[in-house]
Structure 1
Amino acid sequence: MEKKTYSGFVALVGKPNVGKSTLLNTLLGVKVAPISPRPQTTRKRLRGILTEGQRQIVFVDTPGLHKPMDALGEFMDQEVYEALSDVNAVVWVVDLRHPPTPEDELVARALKPLVGKVPILLVGNKLDEAKYPEEALQAYHALLPEALPRKLSALNPKQVASLKAELLALLPEGPFLYPEDFAKSDQDFGEWVAEIVREEAMKRLWHEVPYAIATKVEEVAERENGLLYLKVVLYVERPTQKAIVIGEGGRKVKEIGQAARKQLEALLGRRVYLDLEVQVYPDWRKDPEALRELGYRSSLG
């Protein structure tokens, strides 16, 4: 007799920079999502696949919900609403170091229609750094009293394991959505490489520049000496931004490349030649056609 299987989609939502991607990486036990101290590091929905025994969760990591200022912001918010349209549970991540903001209220309003339809777990993150975690969690809970409150640090595997067990138990009976031996993420290789390069750039740049960067892999090739050759273009919106990304004597882009290469080699377990180029694509964040060209595809007009 065939064993029963259980599967479903779980959306990770919240305002920018609350630790959704860190939580996803810890849940999966492997890095699939980019992380930086900058808000809006995550720009696209990303699926992380967790299979344990007869149960499979497809996590949907989403961009931070916020008031959009351009076409990119509209795309990011749409990614969130589309992710919520068909899920079996929601993990609403908040930052316990701070009280709720209007952006948190925006998330709570977005989740209201799901009350009574699917479980909503309110996960207070950054517990290890919070001075008044109980008071903060109560304030967030007041925004959506139907949510189930939990506290943890997304960097603490033990605490995250408890959340993972709870989510696995919530899954409805059904066939696996991905093969058991499927990779931990549905990203293709080029998207994954581009996101790692963008992550390292965002860590090292300041003011408006990190948000004006898009990355795209232009070439992947196996070299005879065993090197994996990767050419990645970093797009910015203005020539002044290009000069900042390149840096004096090419120092900044070299620094970004070295950090990204180190991370890629560690994750791939092989030698990588990373070739970075910086180009100007004027006002790409405001242009829906440019967004599509740079890999931000959805039903955006």
Structure 2
Amino acid sequence: MLESVVAIDLPVEIIHLIQNVTVFQAASRSEKQRTEWFLICSSSNSLVNWNNREFIDNRLNNIEFAALAARAYTALFELSKQGIPYCVPSSVIAVSSLATKLMSSLPHNSLLPGLAKDPDFLKGLADLSQLKPSDVHGHASGRGKPVIRWLIRKLAEEFCYSFAREPTVSIIGDLVRLGWPTVADRSIRNTFTSELSLQALETARIRRDNDNKSKTIAHQVISGLPSTSKGIAVNQSSVEPIAFKSMSDELILELIEEQAKTLNNESIKLRLISFIKAMQYEEQEYLDDGN
């Protein structure tokens, strides 16, 4: 994480946040409320105002608020310089020019190799040839502080994912100022536009949809599990439902994970295993809390 502080030119003030975030994420659910990160996030005036307006259970709301902020800052700490999307106008012009020249010098489509024959490739090349500097959003320009703009977008996406509604400028501002204390709301507002807010809501919706698909697949895997115990082969011709009531939740999740690894669709497999890992983490937190 410290490498990123240097690589993407993060302010020195942000270094102390790394330890706070790490401690918060490692703590059990009951212990999270006693961490410095939780106390910092939950004391935000903008969050208090938002809670009062939305009439949501403050205790649960504050934990999730601190968690989403921790996810965004963790992603920032792990960010590389290549991970910050920005493009200067001169690069846009150069790319457009190169695409135009390539299109004009391409041989007949039938003579192109492999995927170069794909109509989508030629369409993409045509789109690149029409690219203009004005097509690049302001948040992706190399001016100002690209890292702060990246964090604003990430915070917005995480907030929308957690609460399925958009944050206020004040909320984003308070969270950004944990790392950059002097950033004004006006600067936040210049990046956190209505367009970015809608994009964050859509990104969060797709992310939740993928989570729900993984949950559905998990239920399907559970219902199709053969009667077996860990490490024992099963005669598939005599499959019977597992007696789940006699197993611990941990063992059931391990069995589901083993079944998930046999899926042919790589994308579904990875999403499902990721979901199962999250369930295992929550189960461990539940046990750590003495339940």
Which range, TM-score by smaller chain? Answer: under 0.3
TM-score norm. by structure 2 comes to 0.24
**Which protein is richer in strand relative to its size?**
1
Larger radius of gyration: 2
Flag the structure with higher helix content. 2
* TM-score, with length taken from structure 1: 0.23
